[in-house]
Structure 1
């Protein structure tokens, strides 16, 4: 039987789709299944919603979730910082290519390596506080890592510093692909730097900005484990001040051997991520339809 030409491309990608479905789909299904079981070892009896009831009545779970939501504050900061730096580099200041490499370097290095360095730097007697004391800013020399009041803020600063590097490169790549005649025309019309950035450059970067926002939201919700594990000493410390949902899942799975609980939290994190991310794509789709219309 001869296939219709419109089905031929799908036939070529079918093996890859099946492979991806097995690699990603099967574990996802098993996680959902485990979340309804009291797992010991590789399986266990069905307990229904019991795992969800247990975690929803734990203060530590809600504290971890609040910490993840708190880290979302970093998203607009990263977007603004990355936009500012990328536009400055786009002006081709002297040495801008070198600055581009230096700014992207933190994103290339492994998180555990630079987390250890940052932890040393932000210790109470570390270089950061020593520099502040040398500048007679002793009131700003805080116990960045050891104080539960500022530990999560320190982690956020670290995340902003590293993750904004990706935004800078993405935004700069988009800027370098723009038609520079528009910038030249704006200059001839007397537009200053701020007006060129606001009315000419940023509107043409809407798509890549939205993409970076989505990536950043995903990062803050489900990709900060390495940061808090190193900075918080593997326990979310001091106390539980840097405990996030990923670390909560890790503790439930590895430290107290409760895969059912870990799976239930993973499912909730997955669903919440979808609830926050899907609307972003919906907004983008409507914007595209309006542009076409």
Structure 2
């Protein structure tokens, strides 16, 4: 081995112990989950049953209802992108009080999800502040049972997700905006371009990469990281009924409440494979962001 090759390998040797540790901490449980998905597990092990767990899951209406709810929650992403873009652009242009507004919009993302979910659940109760304000404004027809109605509960969860997860978009978009060349915006302003024209023709084209990155991250979040929202808002049962049942909660019930680790493992594997497929677009979007910033 030449001196040049040894120099190239040296950084990897330094991080090798950490890589091995991470491979053990995350890799071993992942292998066990794949193994359990092909077994009828009782306790800590069980007999091999092949694809039977997957057949049971794919033939269960509750699983497909959970998938449908996750797909419905994906409708939150366009709203998150629009809200994040609008607020980040306003903050970038330093409207009056922009420092205070920046703190206010960042707070939801700093707080833990269960804390925010508990507060929002209190606010959206039938006799909570949201309905009281609507009644005070003589909008009684909008004073709904946001938590207790199976027709509205999932949309309440979506409102909570939009409110909190938009903060990440604001952070990402504002960081990208601060790296833009302001001379182009100033030139457009001098040429008579209005606010909308500057946003559409100058700002948005340069933010395409970070928008794509945020969309992919948001899709992964909604598919695989909304358990806390649903657990708190749905009263710990994905309720009312199964109105807020999502894939993560389906896995939780299979593992904890019905003691079927094989079913839970099979559903986890399916969710993992979908998430992995979405990671590759995320890396491509991140690479595009770096190229734009360069």
Name the TM-score, length of structure 2 as normaliser: 0.93
In 2, Cα distance between the equivalents of 1:277 and 1:72? 16
In 1, Cα distance between the equivalents of 2:169 and 2:70? 20
Report deviation, 1:76.
1.4
Report the counterpart of residue 255 of structure 2 in structure 1: 253
Report deviation, 1:144.
0.6
Q: Which piece of structure 1 moves more, 106-115 or 2-11?
A: 2-11
Report deviation, 1:219.
0.7
Report deviation, 1:27.
1.2
Report deviation, 1:53.
0.9
- 1:132 aligned onto 2:103: no
Report deviation, 1:281.
4.5
SS in 2 for 1:237: coil
Runs (5+) with no aligned partner, structure 2: none
Matches within 5 A, 1:19-58: 19-58=21-60
List, as ranges, runs of 4+ consecutive aligned residues in structure 1 with deviation greater than 4 Å.
Answer: 279-285
Q: C-alpha root-mean-square deviation of aligned residues, in Å?
A: 1.8
Q: Deviations over 1:102-154 (max 9, x none)?
A: 00101111111111111111111111111101101111111111111111001
Matches within 5 A, 1:265-276: 265-276=267-278
In 2, Cα distance between the equivalents of 1:31 and 1:71? 26
- Change in Cα spacing, 1:277 to 1:8, as seen in structure 2 (3 Å) is closer
In 1, Cα distance between the equivalents of 2:9 and 2:178? 38
Name the TM-score, length of structure 1 as normaliser: 0.94
Report the counterpart of residue 206 of structure 1 in structure 2: 208
Q: Among residues 170, 180, 195, which one is paired with 2:197 in the alignment?
A: 195
In 2, Cα distance between the equivalents of 1:152 and 1:282? 32
- 1:218 aligned onto 2:243: no
Q: Among residues 148, 151, 157, which one is paired with 1:149 in the alignment?
A: 151
